[in-house]
Chain A
């Protein structure tokens, strides 16, 4: 009798503006580096197409099913900031969702950062960002999450230990065969070198049936109905089916005219018709189910691309060079004790900036391109590096 555990990733990057070698320096860091106009435009667009209608629909469904339907969110700090700035009305609906009591939240790095991979053995930046996120979320929703979700589901034994050290009872990642072997993603696992923390593995097949394949006409299961999908879930053995996806699946990746909202509207109805199925939040799942075995993940995995490793962000020389420059700046930024400088350095840690530089393979490249506002990864690299170098010069000079 599997439980269905749904979690939505909610994030918008702080996109950079074009920054040329040749132009004169602008004063102020935020204005010089970030394209607030573009960020606002995208935020508003996605709010209209996805966030607002989905929030409203979910509120309706949660009220209708009175405790039997549950979902959870991981909302980045960058998103919360943009939301406060551009669409406080949207933030209000997230609060209403939290108030239903059927919505759980996860913690992550505030700036959607890869700081869990920083070479600093103390992982100071990681700890600070997770704490930042915790308090920001608590302030807005009143909830203290029990489950941790690292940026882009980046996961390894070491990362699990970090999360455990910070008091989390569960952690989320990708259920890939490379790690699972013959085992199923539909159970909880313990992690090597950790004591208690439980690992929730994303069922990528069933998740991507909605997130990626929902509108794919080449797919022999198209069109996917709530009825059919619920039957699949019912027939899935295990304790918990983790359906993790980008929140933008609803209305943005899958447009409204694909029928995605109708799918969501009727999904709880059909799923709850089966007595075998119920909905639980990640916090409940880690309380209610035991870990059935131990997984050993020495190398970092993630939920991105076919490789499901860190190569979407650190796969080529450009990405690694930018990432190491970013880290190199940490001691200088901290020494300066300047709040804006620290904040800008952290915004520059958005993993998206590195994701845009991915050159891997054509198929994945296309997904990357979909999310990128650059013409190509090379242009993205030049721009990012121009900004990082300029930022470095400014820190060294001690002036903004």
Chain B
């Protein structure tokens, strides 16, 4: 195959789903920081994402531009570089994006009844605004987005000469696979989580997509060895094609906790779903409160388990000690982290766990589940098996009791977290690009 000599920088088509301000998890943060740092390293990224009603945040990065036209990237000059956000029309949104199907009504319905091809019918009498929030039909949204994405990338590729296509998670797999088949672009895929991490009962439909995405990709980036092992065992992925790259964190974005002024508040932060271990958190809280009355337990986040969790607090008799805050926007989280004495991440299965890094940046001691990526990559914290609520409670009590413990953890966490930078993440990602990119 004859390829045109390449003067320009490496140009990459990246397929995403979330981007600030539309962030419902680590995925959006990752894409934002990664593209920014790649641009700094001289890679030009065309970032494709669903069109939203709101404007993408671009003030912070000089290199980031929103393309006015969804399918045509207007290249002004040869030197043009940076991140081009290309919003692909697929759904109309009024509210926040979600990357998690369990938030979608279709998913919930399909898990209650047998899988229905026509979920429209089942969703018939759902309130209008609820539909608007998650997209009326989540899976249909995904499908539409993928179709439109293929069109857009193939069209742009003629002018842009992409060196590869890089997609994130299962949401963008169909498009990436199709693009590879049509344009011969090599594929990199980042696995931020697998269906096994997200759902208590994995959905076969999504597992199928993930399996295809991983086997078809030239390189799969896993956010941890924990995740790499999972995709190796569950999806029979070829270990030689997997690269582990940890997430980063921007330390400057966080406030520092004042250790001299303890609030005696413990923090849980995450979607209120089975996999995040919110029940274990409450059970541990109960054990702590049996010994120490003067402690508050914060639960930040939303999710399908909320009513059940509230019920559980009453059952345990700790309802006046647990505070459910609902969703708190990203820009206000730094306040939450720095106002709490302890951050607990009791996840049943956490591919990475950026929130733990964020707590570390805030100088808030971390108690975390051994079933997590961040756990394998850090030493200065207290690790528990998520089911060992006694030990979890003991660690919380110890942190409340022994100032020297929390001070030493705070100090060492602040040092340790410095090794998780987005530059490092981007450089390693670039390394993976170089393994397979066209036009080298």
Q: Which A residues lie at the B interface, using CB under 8 A?
A: 20-22, 316-318, 320-322, 359, 362, 365, 375-376, 378-379, 381-382, 385-386
Other A-B contacts than A321-B403, A378-B409, 13 sampled, CB-CB below 8 A, are A20-B391, A22-B394, A316-B404, A316-B411, A359-B408, A362-B379, A378-B380, A378-B382, A378-B405, A382-B394, A382-B405, A385-B402, A385-B405
Judged by a CB distance under 8 angstroms, whether B148 is at the interface is: no
- In the bound complex, residues from chain B placing their C-beta under 8 Å from that of A318 are 402, 404-405, 408
CB of B196 to closest CB in A, whole Å: 26
Q: Which residue of B lies closest to A369 (CB)?
A: B379
Q: Given the complex of chains A and B, what is the CA–CA distance between A375 and B378 in angstroms?
A: 13
CB nearest to A317 among chain B residues: B404
Q: State the CA gap A366–B403 with chains docked (Å).
A: 25
A376–B391 Cα distance when bound, in Å, is 14
Count chain B CB atoms within 10 A of each CB in A320, A378, A379, A382 and give the residue with the most: A378
B287: Cβ under 8 A from any A Cβ: yes
Does B47 have its Cβ within 8 Å of any Cβ on chain A?
no
Q: How far is the CB of A244 from chain B (nearest CB, A)?
A: 31
Contacts of B408 in A (CB 8 A): 316-318, 359, 378, 381
- A283 CA to B172 CA, complexed, in Å: 77
Q: A22-B291, A22-B393 are in contact. Are A382 and B402 (CB under 8 A)?
A: yes
Given contacts A321-B404, A365-B379, contact A359 B397 (CB under 8 A): no
Interface residues of B in 280-336 (CB under 8 A from A): 287, 291
Asked if B134 is an interface residue, CB under 8 A from chain A, the answer is no
Interface of B is mostly: helix
Nearest opposing residue in chain B for A376, CB measure: B379
- What chain A residues lie within 8 Å of B411 (beta carbons)? 316-317
User: Do B393 and A381 touch (CB < 8 A)?
Assistant: no
Interface size class for chain B? 20 to 34
Find chain B residues with CB under 8 A from A385 CB. Answer: 398, 402, 405
With beta carbons under 8 angstroms apart, the residue of B291, B379, B383, B409 that contacts A21 is B291
Residues of B within 8 A of A21 (CB): 291, 394, 397-398
In contact, A359 and B412 (Cβ under 8 angstroms):
yes
Q: Which residues of A contact B144 (CB under 8 A)?
A: none
What is the 8 Å Cβ interface bit string for chain B, positions 380-416, against chain A (1 contact, 0 not)? 1111000000110111011000111101110110000
Q: Cα distance A322–B403 when bound, in Å? A: 11
A317 and B407 contacting across the interface, CB-CB below 8 Å: yes
Fill in one digit per residue for B192-230: 1 if any A CB lies within 8 Å of its CB, else 0. Answer: 000000000000000000000000000000000000000
Are the CB atoms of B287 and A22 closer together than 8 Å? yes
Q: How far, in angstroms, from A20 to B401 measured CA to CA in the complex?
A: 13
Q: What would be 30 A-B contacts, judged by CB atoms less than 8 Å apart?
A: A20-B390, A21-B394, A22-B291, A22-B393, A22-B394, A22-B397, A316-B404, A316-B411, A317-B404, A317-B408, A320-B404, A321-B402, A359-B380, A362-B379, A365-B379, A376-B379, A376-B382, A378-B380, A378-B382, A378-B408, A381-B402, A381-B404, A382-B394, A382-B395, A382-B398, A382-B405, A385-B398, A385-B402, A385-B405, A386-B398
Distance of A5 Cα from B313 Cα, bound (Å): 68
In angstroms, Cα B405 to Cα A378, docked, is 7
Question: A317–B381 Cα gap in the complex (Å)?
Answer: 15
Q: How far is the CA of A391 from the CA of B303 in the complex (A)?
A: 45
Q: How far is the CB of B374 from chain A (nearest CB, A)?
A: 15
Chain A residues, CB < 8 A from B407: 317
Task: Tell me the chain B residues, 139-175 only, with Cβ under 8 Å from chain A.
Answer: none
A316 to B380, CA, bound (A): 13
> What 6 A-B pairs have minimum CB-CB distances, sorted nearest first?
A321-B404, A317-B404, A382-B398, A318-B404, A318-B408, A316-B408
Contacts of A316 in B (CB 8 A): 404, 408, 411
A372 to chain B minimum Cβ distance, whole angstroms, is 13
What residue in chain B is nearest A381 (Cβ atoms)? Answer: B405
Decide if A379 touches B402 in the complex (CB within 8 Å).
no
| Nearest CB on B from A137, distance (A) | 36
Contact with A along B402-433 (1 / 0, CB 8 A): 11110111011000000000000000000000
Let me know if A379 and B382 touch, CB within 8 A.
Answer: yes
| B309: min CB distance to chain A, Å | 23
Contacts of B403 in A (CB 8 A): 317, 321
A94 to chain B, nearest CB (A): 39
Question: Which chain B positions have C-beta within 8 A of A22?
Answer: 287, 291, 390, 393-394, 397
Q: Is B394 a contact partner of A20 (Cβ separation < 8 A)?
A: yes
**The residue from B287, B291, B381 contacting A378, defined by CB atoms under 8 A apart:** B381
Residues of A within 8 A of B291 (CB): 21-22
**Complex CA–CA separation, A20 to B388 (angstroms):** 13
Q: Which of the listed residues B379, B391, B404 has the most CB atoms from chain A within 10 Å of its own CB?
A: B404
User: With A317-B408, A359-B412 known to touch, is A375 a contact of B380 (CB < 8 Å)?
Assistant: no
Instruction: Report how far A197 CA is from B35 CA in the complex, Å.
Output: 67
Scan B248-272; emit 1 where CB is below 8 A from any A CB, else 0: 0000000000000000000000000
Q: In the docked arrangement, what's the CA distance between A234 and B424, Å?
A: 50
A21 to B407: give the CA distance in the assembly, Å: 20
Q: Which residue of A lies closest to B290 (CB)?
A: A22
Chain B contacts of A322 at CB under 8 A?
404
| Minimum CB–CB distance for B370 against chain A, Å | 10
